[in-house]
RNA sequence: UGCCCGAUAGUAUAAUGGUAGUACGACAGAUUUUGGUUCUGUUUGUCUUGGUUCGAAUCCAGGUCGGGCAACCA
């Protein structure tokens, strides 16, 4: 028996519809507007749409909602497709709302013929004013009762380019007194003499979202059209168009969009960060975009697991970014190769290790894997690099690392005993001295000595150098959007720390973009796909390791 | 002050009139050649006031709080 996992509310709806025979097979769609890059909120929608179809043996389309040529571009189309694929999903059919422009035009003519649409000459401002307010009914346009013939004639003229942008619109004739603002004679078509990224200059009138989305769903026989909560008020209109047109009744269902702590998720805000150069583009590793997370080192599986764990409901929510970090650690712990890298190096001199002598030790690739994932060579010698923070002259309680008189294990090597250190004129520690215990060699330890601390290290002679970039949260408050004033004033000034001279072990020279590593005791890292060049490696920190010691220190 | 939606530990998410459970977090312990991993345990919750019922997180009514709606954006 499979484990009993309770259904989310969308799965319940689908199961009920299937059980009632409302649909033989379900069909969903992911409908982005190609006007920006996908972010992790979209990942939730993608996982929901594809996940639903997957679970119930249905299909999912990818459809670009490209009804506004002013903001859209093929650059975005391409990045969206790449991101969906990278997440691990494959769509059944690829569509564009613009493929339906002829059909949508015919739908509009049909509504005119039914006396349910009219051409309005009012300006945008006048239409807005006459729409009234949520508490006040709107007023009818003086053009509302034109004859069907006149409307047909004018709409054709609109299509033929005889009017300029803003001179005329086509409106649905519904109810100016509706408590739902979207039902107060919504605009169906507007004139935009703008080049469209797919239809070029074929059209100068373009359908509004409301006059395109439901019909596109219907044309594709989408059974469950799921979208975020802000479209809830559009649902009556979505249904109205379908009913008046008498076409396949797709149904809309809404869920709460994803919010994450310490970041922003709206396209508008993300665009601002990019345009004002506050980040290094849409794929800056600090961005919550799919491309940013990918560059940061997040894996598709970790993102899918995250989307599964956060669940789906209709209430507003803000997910702790810690859960995202948990998900990527969970995945990377099982797959990432272990390597040793010293970020802030100081010398460790093993005074009883003969000068000029060296040896090759073996380091396990991943203790979580069978046979430890194999081994790689670790050159060892008299002088090593160790992390400056791993030595303290006056150590606090529970300090398991190096301090005068302390013993520690050098990972995969020997136990050493700290015998002294050197300081420069300013009092800064420049080197640590120790003696090693020859019979404590890793794997063949006969010393009988137990130590509490284990440290990473690099042979000073064989060390290579790389740049390492440490990322922290982009904002210093949990929910920047809910704070007073400009959200950008809450950005974390220390969200990027660049370390130029990190000491890396030789095997890391062969690192490939997309490969994940655990730098032992430091976190998970990946090669930056953009900044790395031959001869210059740049590693991005995906996430730190859980750190019980720093937590202990804060007490 | 119109209409619509929502409210369960710190954060999410279950319980579909019948024992409030799970995950992340936090805390404590065991294991550990990563202060990692793994394992064990502990902690904290049904917005409020009434009502229906043998029994209410769940149904009903009032209130409170939060979100959405007045783009020729999606």
Tell me what ipTM this predicted complex has: 0.97
Nucleotide nearest to A120 (CA to C1'): B72
User: Does residue A4 lie in a domain region?
Assistant: no
| Judgement on whether residues A401 and A539 belong to the same structural domain of the protein | no
User: Does residue A131 lie in a domain region?
Assistant: yes
Total structural domains within chain A? 3
Q: How far is the CA of A315 from the C1' of B52 (A)?
A: 28
The domain that contains A364 carries what CATH number? 2.40.240.10
Q: State residue A3's pLDDT score.
A: 47
| Judgement on whether residues A249 and A358 belong to the same structural domain of the protein | no
pLDDT over 70 (residue A1): no
Two tokens, residue A267? 């396209």
Write the pLDDT tens digit of every residue in A51-88: 999 999 999 999 999 999 999 999 999 999 999 999 99
- 3-class secondary structure, A472: coil
| Judgement on whether residues A88 and A194 belong to the same structural domain of the protein | yes
Residues of A with catalytic function: 33, 257, 267
User: Does residue A260 lie in a domain region?
Assistant: no
The whole-model pTM stands at 0.96
Q: What is the dihedral of CA A513, A514, A519, A521, to 10 degrees?
A: 150
| Judgement on whether residues A88 and A179 belong to the same structural domain of the protein | yes
pLDDT over 80 (residue A494): yes
| Judgement on whether residues A326 and A399 belong to the same structural domain of the protein | no
- What average pLDDT does range A223-238 have in this prediction? 97
Which one is predicted more confidently, A552 or A336?
A: A336
pLDDT over 70 (residue A172): yes
- Supply φ then ψ for residue A132, to 5 degrees: 80, -160
Closest residue by C-alpha to C1' distance, nucleotide B38? A368
Q: How far is the CA of A326 from the C1' of B24 (A)?
A: 8
| Judgement on whether residues A251 and A139 belong to the same structural domain of the protein | yes
DSSP for A476-527 reads: SSS-GGGSSS-GGGGB-TTSEEEEEEEEE-GGGGG--TT-EEEETTTEEEEE
Burial class of residue A427 in the structure, from the number of CB atoms within 10 Å of its CB (0-12 exposed, 13-18 middle, 19+ buried): exposed
Could you tell me which residues come within 8 angstroms of residue A208 by beta carbon, excluding any fewer than 6 positions away? A67, A186, A187, A188, A189, A190
| Judgement on whether residues A177 and A95 belong to the same structural domain of the protein | yes
User: Does residue A531 lie in a domain region?
Assistant: yes
Which residue(s) pair with A29 in the sheet?
Answer: A61
Q: How far is the CA of A313 from the C1' of B12 (A)?
A: 10
| Judgement on whether residues A69 and A169 belong to the same structural domain of the protein | yes
Two tokens, residue A136? 């006040």
The domain that contains A132 carries what CATH number? 3.40.50.620
Q: State residue A534's pLDDT score.
A: 84
Q: Which of A424, A456, A488 is the last residue of a domain?
A: A456
User: Does residue A309 lie in a domain region?
Assistant: yes
Q: In this structure, are residues A540 and A285 in contact, taking their beta carbons and an 8 Å threshold?
A: yes
Strand B bases with any atom < 7 A from protein Cβ: 1-8, 10-16, 23-27, 33-38, 66-74
Closest residue by C-alpha to C1' distance, nucleotide B12? A310
| Residue whose pair of structure tokens reads 């060296």 in the numeric block | A358
| Judgement on whether residues A15 and A140 belong to the same structural domain of the protein | yes
Two tokens, residue A209? 């979202």
- 3-class secondary structure, A288: coil
Q: How far is the CA of A473 from the C1' of B70 (A)?
A: 37
Nucleotide nearest to A456 (CA to C1'): B34
3-state secondary structure A68-79: CCCCCCHHHHHH
Nucleotide nearest to A317 (CA to C1'): B12
| Residue whose pair of structure tokens reads 């997040």 in the numeric block | A298
Q: How far is the CA of A315 from the C1' of B56 (A)?
A: 22
Q: Where are the beta strands (DSSP E) in A58-195?
A: 59-64, 94-96, 117-120, 169-172, 187-191
pLDDT over 70 (residue A348): yes
Q: State residue A4's pLDDT score.
A: 60
| Residue whose pair of structure tokens reads 């136990």 in the numeric block | A415
- 3-class secondary structure, A170: strand
Nucleotide nearest to A189 (CA to C1'): B72
| Judgement on whether residues A438 and A531 belong to the same structural domain of the protein | no
């Amino acid at each position: 028996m499979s484990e009993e996992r309770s259904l989310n509310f969308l799965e319940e709806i689908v199961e009920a519809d299937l059980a009632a025979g409302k649909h033989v097979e379900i069909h969903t769609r992911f409908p982005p507007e190609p006007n920006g890059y996908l972010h992790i909120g979209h990942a939730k929608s993608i996982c929901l749409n594809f996940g639903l179809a997957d679970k119930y043996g249905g299909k999912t389309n990818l459809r670009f909602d490209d009804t506004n040529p002013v903001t859209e571009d093929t650059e975005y189309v391409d990045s969206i497709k790449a991101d969906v694929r990278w997440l691990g999903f494959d769509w059944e059919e690829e569509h564009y709302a613009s493929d339906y422009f002829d059909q949508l035009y015919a739908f509009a003519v049909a509504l005119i013929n039914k006396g349910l649409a009219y051409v309005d000459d009012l300006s945008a401002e006048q239409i807005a004013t006459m729409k009234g307010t949520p508490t006040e009914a709107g007023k009818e346009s003086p053009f509302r009762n034109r004859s069907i013939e006149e409307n047909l004639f004018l709409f054709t003229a609109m299509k033929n380019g005889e009017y300029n942008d803003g001179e005329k619109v086509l409106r649905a004739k519904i109810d100016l007194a509706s408590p739902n603002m979207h039902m107060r004679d919504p605009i169906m078509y507007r004139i935009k003499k703008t080049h469209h990224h797919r239809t070029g200059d074929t059209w100068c009138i373009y359908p509004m979202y409301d006059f395109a989305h439901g019909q596109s769903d219907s044309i594709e026989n989408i059974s469950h059209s799921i979208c975020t909560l802000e479209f809830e008020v559009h649902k009556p209109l979505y249904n109205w168009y379908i009913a008046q047109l008498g076409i396949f009744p797709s149904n809309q269902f809404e869920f709460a969009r994803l919010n994450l702590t310490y970041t922003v998720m709206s396209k508008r805000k993300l665009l601002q960060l990019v345009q004002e150069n506050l980040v290094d583009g849409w794929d800056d590793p600090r961005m919550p975009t799919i491309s940013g997370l990918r560059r940061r080192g997040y894996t598709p599986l970790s993102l899918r697991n995250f989307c599964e764990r956060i669940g789906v409901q209709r209430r507003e929510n803000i997910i702790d970014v810690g859960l995202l970090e948990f998900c990527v650690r969970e995945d990377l712990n099982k797959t990432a190769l272990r390597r040793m890298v010293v970020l802030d190096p100081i010398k460790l001199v093993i005074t009883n290790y003969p000068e000029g002598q060296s040896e090759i030790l073996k380091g396990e690739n991943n203790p979580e894997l069978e046979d430890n994932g194999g081994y790689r060579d670790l050159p060892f010698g008299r002088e090593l690099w160790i992390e400056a923070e791993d030595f303290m002259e006056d150590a606090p309680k529970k300090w398991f690392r190096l301090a005068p008189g302390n013993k520690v294990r050098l990972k995969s090597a020997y136990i050493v005993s700290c015998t002294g250190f050197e300081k420069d004129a300013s009092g800064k520690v420049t080197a640590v001295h120790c003696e090693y215990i020859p019979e404590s060699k890793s794997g063949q330890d006969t010393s009988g000595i137990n130590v509490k601390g284990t440290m990473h290290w690099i042979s000073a002679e064989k060390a290579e150098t790389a740049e390492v970039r440490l990322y922290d949260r982009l904002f210093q408050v949990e929910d920047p959007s809910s704070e007073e004033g400009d959200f950008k004033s809450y950005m974390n000034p220390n969200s990027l720390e660049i370390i130029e001279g990190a000491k890396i072990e030789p095997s890391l020279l062969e690192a490939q973009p997309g490969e994940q590593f655990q730098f032992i005791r430091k976190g998970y890292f990946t090669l930056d796909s953009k900044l790395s060049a031959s001869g210059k490696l740049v590693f991005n920190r995906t996430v730190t390791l859980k750190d019980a010691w720093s937590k202990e220190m804060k007490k």
